[in-house]
Homo-oligomer: A and B are copies of this chain.
């Protein structure tokens, strides 16, 4: 697996799993009906923020993607954030972990002092466990902050990791 900068030309390969994940409405606080163009605007960030893709070194297939960005402005500019999506067809290969580690290293090198996730759906146990294994802690939970399509109202975690 190779992690490299995402380009607009990667979007057609990202879109199928991005769309499936967003439309399912289980893990992201994105509008569920984002179309192809809107989705690109939400996901492909511009400098100094970044978006990368994890690709299969043999086939070039896009396996997952991460975006990383400044989370607060002004005197909160030392806090970064990031988001991850992995193609469900390629889950279980450590792609999410590799992407998360990549963004933590980026944030540290870019001079950020901490990383914050603003809205981790509490029922997304896989993600919460992964982030905790990478040193993040839940610093607070917005009660009933997310309306899960099958589980009803669940919490939205704010997670934090010093760098």
Contacts and interface: CB of A to CB of B under 8 A. Distances in A.
Contact of A31 (B73, B139, B141, B158): B73
Interface residues of A, number: 36
Interface of A, helix, strand, loop or mixed by DSSP: strand
Nearest to A160: B142
Contact of A78 (B78, B119, B147): B147
Interface string A152-163: 000010101010
B158 A72 contact: no
Interface stretch (A54-62, A100-108, A110-118): A110-118
Given A32-B75, A73-B29, A156-B76, A142 B139 contact: yes
